[in-house]
Structure 1
Amino acid sequence: MVAFKGRLSFKQYMPAKPTKWGIKIWSVCDARLGYCLGYDVYTGKASRKNPRKPLGFEVVDSLCSPHFGKGHHVYVDRFFNSVDLAEHLSENGTYLCGTIMSNRKGLSPVMK
């Protein structure tokens, strides 16, 4: 979140965060060097490419697609993680690691 309180149609308000008002930016970064490899500014629900998929799936897919097939490992938090995302990345030669919530859709009973 980039702090911003001015007028902007896609400004976000998140009351539980330290920076409550601002511009939400999704980024993919190199874990070892810390370089930003790509980013996307979230401009709201209307700008989504595939509204049938969850937002987390769409964000990770769009940011990681240039790096598919190279054997990279993607680490995500629980907001982004899902079984569908893990299967999609695996099909494209990319690995996924992250915490998954026990009530997430598509999770097998054995994993719960």
Structure 2
Amino acid sequence: MNKILAIILLFITLLSGCSLTNQQDYYVLVVEGEENLIKTFENYISVRKPVIEIDYYKSDKVAKKQFPEYEIEGTPLVFIFKIKEGKKKLLLRTNNMHESYAFLRSIKEDK
């Protein structure tokens, strides 16, 4: 009986481990400029997913120094990345806040 219970627990552990590796997380970079966007975007971040990390920059110049590989001109500006296996893939770059909110709502509802 104990062997059967141990095998079932091992099987459940393996299944939960497999599902975690297929999970998709998101990272958001916000260059807000004069607008105060922090409170709005905080509604989409959670340790329970889908957005696991969010960074805010007041200045596009500072953000450009931190992320020289992306075209950062003007504010407000939002980048949304999918994180899979430790790599970030850019999904959305927009200066339209409604577009970024809609995108974040859609991935939150998918979870």
Q: Which has the higher helix share?
A: 2
TM-score, structure 1 normalization: 0.28
TM-score, structure 2 normalization: 0.28
- Which of structures 1 and 2 has the bigger CA Rg? 2
Query: Using CA pairs below 8 Å that are at least 6 residues apart, which structure has the higher relative contact order?
Result: 2
